[in-house]
């Protein structure tokens, strides 16, 4: 596939118009103010962008993973904070409920999530379970009536301050590590649900990231997602798709940095000519353009494989690894091309440089992506 199908080009154009006209103008101010883009998220819901690959009968847009990937790049081009809110709701919340949920769970939770009427978060990470996701210590016990009782603390949870629903992982027996992990659909209104410390972050500052504290939180038995002790597989299969989303987010940031660098290099005059006339600048732009193309091909191919129902773990990690490293490379070079101006908050490239950094950390660090790829390569 070397050209996007026409229907996906139309989705890209729709996303591009909305991103550049509605999202981009307020991005710098939201970053400064740490302001959650509630209104934009509501509009994305109305456009079908909060449940893009969810079938229409469950409130979604009924599109492909590829269409979602292309749209997410466009949204992140304008503001990576809006991009991650969209990415988490689609990939990490709608997807596992769509893939593993019962019919009743889909009717009750997937429909409002996919319509964007409710927002979701994915509560896996804990203070001592970051890269080692199998080390889940949040405890779950089974009550006499068959309901579940959760106790523990999650951290670094994207969307936690605003989310209505948290797909949450907890362990029946931490000594058994991932083999005793269960997944649950938890509502914010349940007694014992508390949003803890909200993080003050380097980048993606208008998205919310916080701790979640569960104290004797009772979850009805019908909110178990998939089967008891199968939660780790839910978590890992979910991240296979989520990593394609983060690759798309990284691509959006990198493309914006590249476009700004090209424009600035043509406009900025030094030594009596535009700086773009210098080979030093041209080579930076050439490297950026080449890496962008390569990252996009990896990302689109991973999305396409997922749409074919084929295994995608290795390809998703490759796309996420390469696209996030490309976002780091492109924002660094774009800042360099801007010189001292690039270091100022007045220039957008400064925000892009900060926003890009997270893509090498969340949904698995670059080191974890290499570990996953190496496991596949070595068999
Ligand atoms: N799909 C299904 N099952 C999988 C799987 C996958 N992709 N990967 C592993 N599994 C299964 C294995 O088959 C194995 O099953 P059995 O016990 O039946 O054999 C089990 O899971 C354990 O597998 P491993 O032995 O490979 O597990 P591990 O403990 O070595 O960890 C890991 C593997 C890849 C390092 C994993 O811990 C990992 O992905 N860590 C990174 C965590 C991460 O990405 N966190 C992101 C948090 S969410 C986030 O960041 C969201 C946000 O803010 C935007």
Q: Which residues, at least 6 apart from 295, have a Cβ–Cβ distance to it below 8 Å?
A: 247, 250, 251, 254, 319, 322, 323, 326
| Distance (Å) of CA 29 to CA 43, 81, 143, 158, 194 | 19, 12, 48, 20, 29
Instruction: Please check whether residue 334 lies inside any domain of the structure.
Output: yes
Q: Which domain holds residue 17?
A: 6-118
Ligand 1 centroid – CA 144 distance (Å): 31
CA–CA dist 254, 314 (Å, integer): 22
In the structure encoding, which two tokens stand for residue 305, read together? 């494989």
| CA of 133 relative to ligand 1 center, distance in Å | 7
Sign of CA dihedral 228, 232, 237, 239: positive
User: Atom 29 in ligand 1: which residue has the minimum CA distance?
Assistant: 134
46's tokens? 């109305």
Residues 323 and 198 in one domain: no
Same domain, 253 and 285: yes
pTM of the entire predicted model: 0.98
Residue 1 lies in a domain: no
Could you tell me the CATH number of the domain that includes residue 76?
1.10.540.10
Measured CA to CA, the distance from residue 348 to residue 342 in angstroms comes to 8
Determine whether the shortest distance from the Cβ of 122 to ligand 1 is under 6 A: yes
Q: Mean pLDDT of successive 10-residue segments in the chain (379 residues)?
A: 91 98 98 98 98 98 98 98 98 98 98 98 98 98 98 98 98 98 98 98 98 98 98 98 98 99 98 98 98 98 98 98 99 98 97 98 98 97
Handedness of CA 30, 160, 82, 55 (dihedral sign): negative
Which protein residue has the closest C-alpha to ligand 1 atom 18?
179
Quick one: pLDDT at residue 2?
Answer: 80
Catalytic residue among 73, 74, 211, 363: 363
Whether 194 and 213 have beta carbons less than 8 Å apart is answered as yes
Shared-domain flag, residues 18 and 109: yes
* Structural domain count, the chain: 3
CB of 232 within 6 A of ligand 1: the answer is: yes
The residue count of the chain comes to 379
Helix (H) or strand (E) holding 74: helix 65-78
CA distances from 246 to 24, 66, 76, 305, 319 (A): 19, 13, 10, 16, 9
User: Where residue 308 sits, what CATH number does that domain have?
Assistant: 1.20.140.10
Contact criterion met (CB below 8 Å) for 208 and 198: yes
**Does residue 78 sit in the same domain as residue 137?**
no
CA distance 95 to 114: 10
Residue 92 shares a structural domain with residue 201: no
What is the atom index within ligand 1 of the atom nearest the CA of 135?
29
Token pair of 358 as six digits: 């997270």
Q: Are 121 and 86 in contact (CB under 8 A)?
A: no
* Domain closes at, from 96, 118, 140: 118
Residues 77 and 187 in one domain: no
Q: What is the DSSP letter of 110?
A: I
Neighbour-count burial of 202, counting CB atoms closer than 10 A to its CB (0-12 exposed, 13-18 middle, 19+ buried): exposed
Ligand 1 pocket check for 100: Cβ under 6 Å? no
Compute, in angstroms, the gap from residue 301 CA to the centroid of ligand 1: 22
| Dihedral pair phi/psi, residue 141, rounded to 5° | -125, 155
What's the 357 CA to ligand 1 centre distance in angstroms?
Answer: 22
Residue 363 known to be catalytic: yes
**C-alpha dihedral sign at 309, 310, 312, 313:** positive
Which of 331, 328, 367 minimizes the C-alpha distance to 347? 331
- Ligand 1 atom at minimal distance to the Cα of residue 92: 51
Of the three residues 170, 199, 229, the one that is the final residue of a domain is: 229
Answer with the one of 229, 260, 286 that is the final residue of a domain: 229
Pairing of strands 224-225, 209-219: unpaired
- At residue 1, the pLDDT reads 63
């Amino acid at each position: 596939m070397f050209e996007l199908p026409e229907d996906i080009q139309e989705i890209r154009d729709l996303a591009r118009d909305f991103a550049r006209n509605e999202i981009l103008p307020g991005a710098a101010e939201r970053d400064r103010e740490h302001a959650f883009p509630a209104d934009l998220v509501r509009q994305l819901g109305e456009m079908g962008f909060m449940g893009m690959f969810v079938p229409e009968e469950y409130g979604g847009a009924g599109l492909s993973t590829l269409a979602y990937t292309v749209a997410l790049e466009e949204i992140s081009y304008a503001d990576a904070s809006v991009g991650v809110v969209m990415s988490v709701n689609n990939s990490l919340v709608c997807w596992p409920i769509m893939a593993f949920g019962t019919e009743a769970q889909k009717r009750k939770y997937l429909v409002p999530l996919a319509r964007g009427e409710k927002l979701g978060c994915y509560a896996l990470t804990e203070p001592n379970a970051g890269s080692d996701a199998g080390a889940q210590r949040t405890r779950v016990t089974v009550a006499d009536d068959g309901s579940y009782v959760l106790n523990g603390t999650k951290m670094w949870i994207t969307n936690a301050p605003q989310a209505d629903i948290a797909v949450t992982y907890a362990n029946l027996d931490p000594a058994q590590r991932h083999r005793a992990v269960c997944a649950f659909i938890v509502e914010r209104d349940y007694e014992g649900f508390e949003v803890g410390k909200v993080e003050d972050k380097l980048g993606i500052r208008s998205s919310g990231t916080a701790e979640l504290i569960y104290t004797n939180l009772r979850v009805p038995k019908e909110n178990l997602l998939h089967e008891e002790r199968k939660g780790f597989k839910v978590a890992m299969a979910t991240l296979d798709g989520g990593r394609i989303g983060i690759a798309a987010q990284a691509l959006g940031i990198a493309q914006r940095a590249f476009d700004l660098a090209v424009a600035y290099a043509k406009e900025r005059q030094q030594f009596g000519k535009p700086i773009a006339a210098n080979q030093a600048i041209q080579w930076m732009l050439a490297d950026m353009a080449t890496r962008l193309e390569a990252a996009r091909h990896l990302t689109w191919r991973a999305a396409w494989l997922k749409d074919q129902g084929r295994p995608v773990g290795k390809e998703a990690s490759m796309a996420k690894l390469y696209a996030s490293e490309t976002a780091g490379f492109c924002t660094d070079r774009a800042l360099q091309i801007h010189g001292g101006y690039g270091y100022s908050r007045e220039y957008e490239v400064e925000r892009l440089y900060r926003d890009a950094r997270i893509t090498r950390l969340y949904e698995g660090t670059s080191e974890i992506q290499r570990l996953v790829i190496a496991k596949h390569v070595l068999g």
